[in-house]
Amino acid sequence: MGILAQSGLAQLITDFESFTTPTANGTVLFRAPTFSGSTSGRLDPTPNESIVESIGVPAGNPNAGLNTFRATFSFLDTATVPLWVRLTTFGATSLPNPTISLAPGAGLQFDIYSDTAMYVAVLVRETETDAAIGANGGSTGGIEFVGGNPSAASGIRGKTVAANTWTTLNFDFGSELVTAFAGATANGILEPGVDNKGVLEALGLAFDDGTTGNINIWFDNLQVVVIPEPSTVALGLLGGLALTVLVLRQRRK
């Protein structure tokens, strides 16, 4: 088991607070929406923004600071399905190809707000990197969809994000659906390698057929976390139940 999973601590990749806002388009973590050749043909030329900002951020994020990352785009032809966007980290000026832990018990967590209902999957590049968490892990190796297949017209396309509310998403790398996306080594199996690490290559953002208009999405507090094992959760619940029973008995005396 990796050090992160053993420690029980989360490790922040970024909360975007260190950047002077607004940043230049497509320079921090995620490139501009039309950058990815996989999905650029589905998008209008404008709007096309990926920036860190502190003005106009939707209220209600319990983990919020001053800055948040925003991506804005619209689809060129909503009749062309499936509708999805690959928001890639490849070669960004700041935080490119960030290394994440794929060790047993590790997962990825971030806060997200969208003005349009959608589905979110993580694209993990199996780089076999030994870089530190958040550092540039490189851009070689196969890419797997994790948590759903946003490029599919049906089935599990990712984790559901409702419109107009902040949601905290957790991707448990030990239990999520994995589907091959790109590269000779992509095989639908998440293979962490000897260092139990990989790269957050992109987010896959999928939308229902007929989605129209400008889409605005905000991200915050990207971090590697420890996902409790089911047995640990069960023990915690049993412990809480036992404590409740004990308190009730004491009150009846």
Q: What pLDDT, on the 0 to 100 scale, is given for residue 235? A: 37
Q: What pLDDT, on the 0 to 100 scale, is given for residue 229? A: 61
> What percent of the chain has pLDDT above 90?
80
Whether 29 has a pLDDT exceeding 50, the answer reads yes
Report the mean per-residue pLDDT for the chain.
89
pLDDT per residue as tens digits for the range 50-86: 999 999 999 999 888 999 999 999 999 877 789 999 9
Query: Which domains, and CATH codes, for the chain?
Result: 3-228 (2.60.120.260)
Return d(Cα 24, Cα 45) in angstroms, integer.
17
Q: DSSP string of the chain?
A: --HHHHHT--EEEE-STTS-SSPPTT-BSSPPGGG-TTTGGGB-SSS-EEEEESSSPPS--TT--S-EEEEEE-BS-TTSSSEEEEEE-TT-SBS-SBEEE-STTEEEEEEEEESS-EEEEEEEE-----PPTTSB--S-S-EEEESS-TTSSSS--SEEE-TTS-EEEEEETTTS-EEEEESTT--SS---TTTTEEEEEEEEEEE-TT--S-EEEEEEEEEEEEPPPHHHHHHHHHHHHHHHHHHHHHHH-
Q: What pLDDT, on the 0 to 100 scale, is given for residue 63? A: 86
pLDDT per residue as tens digits for the range 148-165: 999 999 999 999 999 999
Q: What pLDDT, on the 0 to 100 scale, is given for residue 234? A: 38
79 burial level (CB within 10 Å; 0-12, 13-18, 19+): exposed
pLDDT per residue as tens digits for the range 81-140: 899 999 999 999 999 999 999 998 999 999 999 999 999 999 999 998 999 999 999 999
- Please name the amino acid found at residue 241: L
Going from the C-alpha of 202 to that of each of 35, 90, 205, the distances in angstroms are 12, 8, 9
Going from the C-alpha of 136 to that of each of 13, 121, 223, the distances in angstroms are 11, 21, 15
The model's pTM: 0.87
Q: What pLDDT, on the 0 to 100 scale, is given for residue 80? A: 75
pLDDT per residue as tens digits for the range 167-204: 999 999 999 999 999 999 999 999 988 999 999 999 99
